[in-house]
């Protein structure tokens, strides 16, 4: 058995035993902190820093395993903290002690930094993965002419920042503030992020959103399948109605098509290739199908699909947010 | 996306692609309208393709093949799509991936030499007979009977929707050799189509795929040598299920070949013709979405082919590929035709022709609904 598969199995066991959440579980800052610190204590967060590790494969597997925790918000918070933030720091040009200290602190779970999702062009600074804790920090990116960005670390929210309640991603809020008139006190300069470095971060983000979309599709298909195999109507399991069976088989086909294409993309990424165009195309298809698959699994639940006690309605909401932010 | 898709092909693959592309441009495309009109292609083309090795690309040299891999087959299908019609390539796919693989897989050395090798060298044309007038996807219910009599099989029955049927030299026939019901009494028998008692009852007039000829064949007391039994007696159901996997996989590749060709053609027209350019600009977002779907589907297919080459043979995934790619190819053709509006109405422009041709992908080799049944049967999401 390879080291990668041992890691994956152990992580999967950990997620099963420590992170199986119900509809009643409140994803809070404390919950996240405790889960992340346990991961760090067990060494799961350090693996990503190892030179010899196949990072794309590891991240693909991590994303899919964390999504199985059943709450997408937890998976997103862990992945952006670990994969995206560390990649940002790795891509910063030049040596800086502040940068290295921050990376070590992220790995240990001592610091949580919010990364702005730049694909929103409202002109505001937008941080979609915030627990609204005073202990959180923020990356600030300032455009440096055409060369890329100057990256700062900001410890407190500026005046006038708002937290936005959303229809999904339980426990997480969006923080936004207008750039105009922002007053940043005590920010620390971390380094320069070249255009190419920024592209690397964006490619990785796109890669992770596809992995999360697939994880979510897997979860919602399982929920749909379980329901139709148990639920009886008109004297038979609703699975035995051909239309229901075909709905799910069709949804599963779409999931598999993207899943196998994504596995191929991961191998290509692991060989050191850029995946900008490929990632965009697969993300577009993956998001289309995420929408369709979460919708149809909600539909086969009938009235139950509309009730908060069943997870499919959450997958439907969470999927839509992933699409809205990730596009 | 092109980079990752190209990464599956070596220089040797690319050389072959170029050779086939030139062949298609010189020997197929100029004549395709004529063949569509006549309802078939001349056998000389088949012979020429055989001579060049195109019909046996993935088969070992020991049996007369080119000695390549399955990706060469993918190249053949992708390049044949450039002729702008589905019919002729369908006849070729029947020859390369449907009628003959069971002979190589289950046949005796004599059967391989006499049928398979001659087929991939373009000397003989094969067909495969599964569907009957009263039985389509339900193979276990077929009625065409083969009875052993004086060291021969005597065959009675009929087979319909037979691609290559009117011009084929032989057919791999799914025959009931045991009168009991169900799949246990089914066997495969190779029947030479010049045998007394074989008649082409009807050359079928189709909605599309016009450059491939299709027939209803009738077998009346047709005597076939006993040694023409292919594989084991009574195992024909399993053997034909095996064949269907290859048929579905190449069907998926062919479908994406057409979808890719249409999107390329759309871009060419948008560059060359101001009227198309104006439509293409308005439809840019839709085209981008279709391209993303087709490229993702190609990557999915290539992933499956890689598994196939390594001996991983997943029935459910092959069914998914067939179902998914067939629907996508049709969706692409339909959407492009709708976008083209009045520019697409002229008969035999590639968009309208492939729109008609690609409709059959969702029927042949197992309808969408049969595919969903197969996928659902093996669905295990517990």
**Phi first, then psi: what are they for A140, rounded to 5°?**
-115, 125
Instruction: Summarize pLDDT for A202-216 with one digit per residue, the tens.
Output: 999 999 999 999 999
Which neighbouring-strand residues pair with A141? A151
Q: What ipTM was estimated for this complex?
A: 0.85
Domain match, B223 and B300 both: no
* Measured CA distances, A322 to A129, A290, B365 (Å): 11, 9, 37
In a domain, residue A279? The reply is yes
Nearest to B161 by CA among B94, B77, B224: B94
Cβ distance of A226 and B7 shorter than 8 Å: no
Domain match, B202 and B305 both: no
pLDDT at residue B183, as a whole number: 84
Question: Hey, what are A73's tokens?
Answer: 């918000």
Confidence band for A1, pLDDT divided at 50, 70 and 90: low
Q: Where among B73, B104, B120 does a domain terminate?
A: B120
DSSP A22: -
CB B84 within 8 A of CB B32: yes
pLDDT at residue A70, as a whole number: 67
Cβ distance of A246 and B372 shorter than 8 Å: yes
Question: Is it the case that residue A25 has pLDDT exceeding 80?
Answer: no
SS (H, E, C) chain B: CHHHHHCCCCHHHHHHHHHHHHHHHHHHHHHHHHHHHHCCCCHHHHHHHHHCCHHHCCCCHHHCCCCCCHHHHHHHHHHHHHHCCCHHHHHHHHHHHHCCHHHHHHCCHHHHHHHHHHHHCCCCCEEEECCECCECCCHHHCCCEEEEECCEEEEEEEEEEEECCCCCCEEEEEEECCCCCCCCCEEEEEEECCCCCEEEEEECCCCCCCCCCEEEEEEEEEEEEHHHEECCCCCHHHHHHHHHHHHHHHHHHHHHHHHHHHHHHHHHHHHHCHHHHHHHHHCHHHHHHHHHHHHHHHHHHHHHHHHHHCCCCCHHHHHHHHHHHHHHHHHHHHHHHHHHHHHHCCCCCHHHHHHHHHHHHHCCCCCHHHHHHHHHHCCCCC
In a domain, residue B212? The reply is yes
Cβ distance of A252 and B296 shorter than 8 Å: no
In a domain, residue B95? The reply is yes
B residues 249-308 lying closer than 8 A (beta carbon) to A: 288-289, 291-293, 295-297, 299-300, 302-304, 306
pLDDT at residue A122, as a whole number: 64
Question: Hey, what are B99's tokens?
Answer: 């009628």
Query: Which of A221, A253, A261 lies nearest to residue B323, judging by beta carbons?
Result: A253
Q: Are strands B170-176 and B152-163 parallel, antiparallel or unpaired?
A: unpaired
pLDDT at residue B344, as a whole number: 84
Cβ–Cβ contact B113 with A under 8 A: no
Cβ distance of A225 and B382 shorter than 8 Å: yes
Cβ–Cβ contact B375 with A under 8 A: yes
Tell me which of B345 and A233 has the higher pLDDT: A233
Q: In terms of residue numbers, what domain contains A303?
A: 196-326
In a domain, residue A39? The reply is no
Q: Where among B183, B215, B237 does a domain terminate?
A: B237
In a domain, residue A232? The reply is yes
* Average pLDDT for A162-178: 91
- Residue of B300, B305, B371 best to disrupt the A interface, most CBs of A under 10 A: B300
Query: Which of A224, A257, A264 lies nearest to residue B324, judging by beta carbons?
Result: A257
Residue A81 burial (10 A CB sphere; 0-12, 13-18, 19+): buried
In a domain, residue A111? The reply is no
Confidence band for A121, pLDDT divided at 50, 70 and 90: low
Count of structural domains, chain A: 1
Q: What is the CATH number of the domain that holds B134?
A: 2.40.110.10
Domain match, B212 and B254 both: no
* Average pLDDT for A112-132: 84
Domain match, B9 and B112 both: yes
Domain match, B83 and B32 both: yes
Domain match, B12 and B82 both: yes
Q: Tens-digit pLDDT profile for chain B (382 aa)?
A: 889 999 999 999 999 999 999 999 999 999 999 999 999 999 999 999 999 999 999 999 999 999 999 999 999 999 999 999 999 999 999 999 999 999 999 999 999 999 999 999 999 999 999 999 988 778 888 999 999 999 999 999 999 999 999 999 999 999 999 987 788 899 999 999 999 999 998 888 899 999 999 999 999 999 999 999 999 999 999 999 888 888 899 999 999 999 999 999 999 999 999 989 999 999 999 999 999 999 999 999 999 999 988 888 788 999 999 999 999 999 999 999 999 988 888 776 889 999 999 999 999 988 999 999 999 998 878 6
Q: How far apart, in Å, do the first and last CA atoms of chain A sit? A: 37
pLDDT at residue A13, as a whole number: 86
Q: In terms of residue numbers, what domain contains B277?
A: 240-377
Using CA atoms in the order A239, A243, A248, A250, what is the torsion angle rounded to 10 degrees?
Answer: 150
Q: What is the CATH number of the domain that holds A264?
A: 1.20.140.10
Question: Hey, what are B118's tokens?
Answer: 């001659």
Domain match, B214 and B265 both: no
A248 to chain B: which residues are within 8 Å by CB?
376, 379
Tell me which chain B residue has its CA closest to the CA of residue A259: B300
Q: Are strands B214-225 and B198-203 parallel, antiparallel or unpaired?
A: antiparallel
pLDDT at residue A119, as a whole number: 56
pLDDT at residue A218, as a whole number: 95
In a domain, residue A305? The reply is yes
DSSP A301: T
Question: Is it the case that residue A44 has pLDDT exceeding 90?
Answer: no
Confidence band for A146, pLDDT divided at 50, 70 and 90: confident
Q: How far apart, in Å, do the first and last CA atoms of chain B sit? A: 34
Domain match, B262 and B302 both: yes
In a domain, residue A17? The reply is no
In a domain, residue B145? The reply is yes
Domain match, B162 and B97 both: no
B residues 217-236 lying closer than 8 A (beta carbon) to A: none
In a domain, residue B205? The reply is yes
Tell me which of A145 and A77 has the higher pLDDT: A77
pTM of the model: 0.90
pLDDT at residue A7, as a whole number: 78
Domain match, B253 and B326 both: yes
Nearest to B24 by CA among B73, B70, B88, B67: B88
Average pLDDT, whole number, for chain A?
90
Count of structural domains, chain B: 3
Q: What is the CATH number of the domain that holds B8?
A: 1.10.540.10
Nearest to B144 by CA among B93, B197, B107: B197
Q: Helix (H, G, I), strand (E, B), or coil: what is residue A283? A: helix
Buried b / exposed e along B260-297 (16+ C-beta atoms within 10 A): bbbbebbeebbeeeeebeebbeebeeebebbbbbbbbb
Question: Hey, what are B351's tokens?
Answer: 């968009």
In a domain, residue A182? The reply is no
Question: Hey, what are B93's tokens?
Answer: 């796919």
In a domain, residue B382? The reply is no
In a domain, residue A295? The reply is yes
Domain match, B224 and B248 both: no
A residues 256-285 lying closer than 8 A (beta carbon) to B: 256-258, 260-261, 263-265, 268, 273, 275, 277-278, 280-282, 284-285
In a domain, residue B12? The reply is yes
Domain match, B277 and B365 both: yes
Cβ–Cβ contact B370 with A under 8 A: no
């Amino acid at each position: 058995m390879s080291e990668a598969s041992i890691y994956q199995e152990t992580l999967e066991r950990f997620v099963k035993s420590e992170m199986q959440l119900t509809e009643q579980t409140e994803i809070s800052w404390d919950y996240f902190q405790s889960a992340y610190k346990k991961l760090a204590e067990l060494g799961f967060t350090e693996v990503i820093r190892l030179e010899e590790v196949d990072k794309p494969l590891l991240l693909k597997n991590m994303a899919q395993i964390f999504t199985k925790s059943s709450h997408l918000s937890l998976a997103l918070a862990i992945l952006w903290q670990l994969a995206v933030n560390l990649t940002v720091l790795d891509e910063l040009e030049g040596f800086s002690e502040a940068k290295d200290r921050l990376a070590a602190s992220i790995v240990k779970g001592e610091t949580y930094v919010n990364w702005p999702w730049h694909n929103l062009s409202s002109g505001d600074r937008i941080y979609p993965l915030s627990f609204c804790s005073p202990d959180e920090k923020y990356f600030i990116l300032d455009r440096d002419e055409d060369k890329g960005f100057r990256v700062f670390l900001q410890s407190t929210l500026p005046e006038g920042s708002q937290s936005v309640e959303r229809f999904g991603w339980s426990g997480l809020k969006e923080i936004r503030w207008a750039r105009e008139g922002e007053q940043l006190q005590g920010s620390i300069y971390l380094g320069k992020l070249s255009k190419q470095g920024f592209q690397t971060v964006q490619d990785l983000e796109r890669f992770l959103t596809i992995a999360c979309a697939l994880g979510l599709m897997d979860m919602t298909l399982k929920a749909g399948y379980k329901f139709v195999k148990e639920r009886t109507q008109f004297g038979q399991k609703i699975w035995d109605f051909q239309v229901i069976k075909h709905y799910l088989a069709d949804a599963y086909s779409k999931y598999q098509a993207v899943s196998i294409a994504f596995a191929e993309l991961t191998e290509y990424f692991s060989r050191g290739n850029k995946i900008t165009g490929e990632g965009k195309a697969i993300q577009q298809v993956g998001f289309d199908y995420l929408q369709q698959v979460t919708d149809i699994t909600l539909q086969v639940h009938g009235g139950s699909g509309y009730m908060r006690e069943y997870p499919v309605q959450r997958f439907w909401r969470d999927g839509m947010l992933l699409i809205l932010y990730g596009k | 996306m092109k980079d990752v898709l190209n990464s599956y092909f070596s220089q040797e693959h690319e050389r072959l692609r170029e050779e086939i592309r030139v062949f298609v441009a010189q020997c197929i495309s100029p004549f395709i309208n004529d063949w569509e009109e006549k309802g078939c292609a001349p056998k000389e083309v088949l012979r020429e393709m055989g001579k060049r090795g195109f019909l046996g690309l993935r088969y070992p040299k020991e049996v007369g093949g080119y000695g390549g891999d399955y990706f060469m087959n993918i190249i053949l299908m992708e390049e044949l799509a450039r002729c702008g019609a589905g019919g002729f390539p369908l006849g070729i796919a029947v020859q390369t991936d449907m009628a003959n693989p069971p002979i190589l897989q289950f046949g005796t050395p004599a059967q391989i030499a006499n049928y398979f090798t001659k087929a991939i060298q373009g000397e003989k044309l094969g067909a495969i007979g599964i569907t009957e007038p009263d039985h389509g996807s339900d193979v276990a219910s077929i009625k065409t009977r083969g009875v052993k009599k004086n060291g021969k099989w005597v065959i009675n029955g009929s087979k319909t929707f037979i691609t290559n049927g009117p011009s084929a030299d032989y057919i791999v026939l799914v025959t009931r050799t045991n009168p009991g019901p169900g799949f246990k009494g089914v066997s495969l028998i190779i029947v030479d189509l010049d045998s007394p008692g074989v008649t082409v009852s009807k050359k079928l007039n189709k909605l599309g795929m016009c450059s491939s000829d299709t027939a209803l064949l009738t077998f009346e007391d047709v005597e076939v040598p006993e040694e023409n039994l292919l594989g084991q007696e009574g195992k024909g159901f399993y053997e034909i299920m095996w064949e269907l996997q290859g048929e579905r996989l190449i069907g998926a590749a062919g479908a994406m070949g057409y979808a890719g060709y249409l999107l390329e053609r759309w871009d060419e027209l948008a560059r060359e013709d101001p009227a198309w350019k104006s439509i293409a600009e308005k439809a840019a977002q839709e085209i981008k979405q279709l391209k993303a779907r087709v490229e993702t589907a190609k990557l999915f297919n290539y992933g499956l082919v890689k598994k196939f080459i390594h001996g991983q043979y997943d029935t459910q995934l092959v069914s998914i590929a067939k179902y998914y790619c067939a629907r996508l190819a049709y969706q692409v053709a339909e959407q492009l035709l709708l976008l083209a509006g009045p520019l697409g109405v002229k008969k035999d422009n590639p968009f309208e022709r492939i729109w008609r041709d690609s409709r059959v992908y969702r029927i042949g080799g197992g309808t969408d609904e049969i595919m969903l049944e197969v996928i659902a049967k093996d669905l295990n999401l517990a």
